[in-house]
Each structure stands twice: as structure tokens, then as C-alpha cells.
Structure 1
């Protein structure tokens, strides 16, 4: 009688080893992918910090939004003007209109954010610092990726720049009319004067067009805008008196 053969066990062991090896290989690939992803995120973050830091001293030559508008319109107007050559009335008017607590916050106005939430999102809570980040480094729109980048980059900019620099950059890249960027271009465009010679009334008129420069005019304001400009002029004087303009004025 032929001896009964014992089933070979090597095939099951080999199969088990192969499955385990595949799992180990997959785990190693995943770890390598995560490591490369981490390095990529770190590299991009470092580049953004360097970019933000560079604009502390280098005037932004253009912005993503300016390039988009130049492509759409054919050209845009902008003349860079240092903060000390911009009428202080305009600086105060813009702060009073857009971000009265500019000197007190670190990039986010928590009181304004709470008020916006309570109002059901019908009012804005974006600070000048957030607007500089959006205008100088990012694209326009309401997408979550842009808002997330804005939230991450704003405190970095606040830590690296002075308040004077934040306001200076804002006043030079904000859109005051379609294709007209910065006080250096807006003052002669609307009033035929350099930015240093803007009056109190002219400064307030420019400030109130900022939320919607394509639909508003500083020289052809509606009755509503005229009333708004009068309130902004009063607000500018108020922040001068109570010290809320101290961080950007000597």
C-alpha cells in the first residue's frame, strides 16, 4: 500500500507571507507618500512666509487681481505712493470706513466677526489686514481654500509687518474704480490732485467706494453715498481724537 502523503504546508505559508509582504509594501508606500506630502506642505508654507516677509520691504509690483483685470481691460492704472505722501485724511477715512479697530487687533476683529454672525452673515467682518492678504497674495472669490489660506497668512503678515506697512500696501493696491488701483492713481483720476493733496471730503468720498468700486463713483455719488461719506469723515476725526489712528500716525 502506498504511503499516505501529508499535504504540503508550504503553499499556505508562502501565501500568507505574500499577503503580509503586500500589506507591508502598501504601508511603506503610504508612509512615504505622507512624508512627501508633509515636506511639500512645509516647502509651500516656507515659500509663503518668505513671500510675505519680502513684501515687508519690497513694494508689490502687481497682484493676482491686477493681472486679471489688466488681461480683461487691456491695462490698469496704478502709481505707488509711500504712506507719508498720502494725505492722512485718506488713511484715517479708510480705516474709519473699513476697519475702525485696525490698531487694536492682530488681523481679525473678533467683535466684528461675532456681530456678523449675529446678523446672519449679512454684514462683512473682514479687516484691512485680511483684505491686504487677499489682494496682494491670493485670488478673489468666496471659496473655502482661499478663505483658509487667508486665515493662515493674515497672522503671519501681522507678525512680520508693521501697521503702517499694512495700511501703506492697502492704500496702494485697493481698487477705487474699474482698473484704478491705489491712492496714487485714484486721486488724479477722480479729483486731478496728487494723493498728498486730498481734502477731508475727497478722502471720505474715496473711502466709501471701496466696498464696490465698479458700481460706485467718488465724483458722482448717490445721496446714500453722500450721507455715508459724511459719517466716514466724522468717524475719521473721531479715531484721530480717541487714539485709534495712533498706530499709523506719528
Structure 2
């Protein structure tokens, strides 16, 4: 019985690794618009959802910078995993303290593309090599473009263009600095946070992100396009 279980587990893990190994190079093609596992779930279960792909240069620069400074300040400098942050989390875990998240944008991107939500050490272990692989094959600009187009901002609302229209009635290329900061701080908890009607805590978080985005400089240099 145990042997059968181990074989089945090995097959599942092999598939979880093989699928992204094949798809990630395909996702380097600009004309390809990847979808997340949540979008696939909604599509095949006939749930309504909103999603409208936009290229990176069609997203307000301040939105790009706000997400980086909110979610992954070392995005332009690491290899897909922020090893310093990861080491701190491991130390906290070993000391029995409550751990914080250490997911980078590449790690969140592979989770959204290929894995599942919820706390899981198995999923986190799979995220690490997949994030390194994603960062090796794709440019930083392409990784951020995919992430911003598959991230969930509300139930059934995927991608920055759908989120911008849903919450503020405007396109992603015309977001203000404040709107961008509020959308960025919504990402950790899209079901409970509403950027159009922010709580006091959300406003405080957005204040910080807005300041960081304004002073981001070289921290966001890898995603600065000709238009921004």
C-alpha cells in the first residue's frame, strides 16, 4: 500500500515539474497569454470571470513600481528567490516563531501558473526550483507582465486591466499613484481587501507603498520601458 502511494506521489510530482519545464519557454513568446490555475478552474466550471491581457508598456509605470516595492523589493536583484529573506523565515520557523511570507514575484507567478493556493510545505518546496527556472528562462519584464495579468484582485477578477476597470473604472495605463498603491496592497488578500473602499490599515499600507514607489530608483530599473 505504501509503495503504491509513493509511486503515485512520485508520478504527481513529476507531472507538476514536467508541465512548467515545457510551458515556461513557450511563455517567453510575447503573443502567448498564459492563464492561471484559478482562471482555468473558473473557465471549466463555467464561473463568470473578468480578464483582459495588456502588455507591460500598457500598464502605468507607477503600477509596476508599486507592485514590486509592495510584493518583492529585491525583484530586480535576485535570481527568482530572495535567499536572505528565505533564511530569515527558516530561522523564525526553527525558533518556533510565527513565520511571515517570503514569496518573490517569480515564486508567486509559478504558484499562480502551475500550483495551488493555501499553506503547504510541499507547494513551497516546488515553488523554489520553479521560480529559479522561470527567472532563468524569462526576462524580468516578461515575468512581471505575466504576474500582473494573472494575479487575482477580487473573486473572478484577474489581471491589472480587469482590476483597474473593476475598482476605478479606468484602464491600467491611466492609474494614479494612489490607485496603484491601493491595488498593490490588495494583492496579499484580494478577497478581503477593497482598494476602492480602503480601510484605515489599507490606507496606511498604501501610504508606505506610495512613498517606496516614488523613491524606488534602481530597485525597479529592470522593468523600466521606453515609455516609463
TM-score between both structures, scaled by the size of structure 1: 0.77
Whether the 8 Å CA contact 2:16–2:114 is kept in 1: the answer is no
Quick one: higher RCO (CA 8 Å, sep 6+), 1 or 2? Answer: 2
Match of 1:85 in 2: 58
Q: Indicate the structure (1 or 2) with the bigger Cα radius of gyration.
A: 1
Query: Quick check: 167-176 or 115-124, which moved more?
Result: 115-124
Distance 1:74 1:115, change over 3 A: same
For the residue of structure 1 that corresponds to 2:75, the secondary structure is coil
Report the count of equivalent residues. 211
Q: Which moved more, 1:94-103 or 1:65-74?
A: 65-74
Q: Which residue is 2:25 aligned to?
A: 53
Residue number among 67, 74, 81 corresponding to 1:101 in the alignment: 74
Q: Indicate the residue corresponding to 1:247 in structure 2.
A: 222
Distance in 1, Cα, partners of 2:154 & 2:45: 14
Find the counterpart in structure 2 of residue 74 from structure 1: 47
RMSD of Structure 2 on Structure 1 (CA): 2.3
Q: Which runs of 5+ in 2 are unaligned?
A: 1-6
How much has 1:73 moved relative to structure 2?
A: 7.6
- The reply on whether 1:206 has 2:179 as its aligned counterpart is no
Q: What SS does the corresponding residue of 2:153 show, helix, strand or coil?
A: strand
Deviation of the 1:47 alpha carbon: 4.7
Q: In structure 1, how many angstroms separate the alpha carbons of the residues matched to 2:99 and 2:209?
A: 20
The CA distance in 2 between the partners of 1:174 and 1:94, in whole Å, is 11
CA contact (8 A) 1:171 1:182 kept: yes
How far the C-alpha of 1:95 sits from its partner, in A, is 0.4
Contact 1:75–1:179 under 8 Å retained in 2: yes
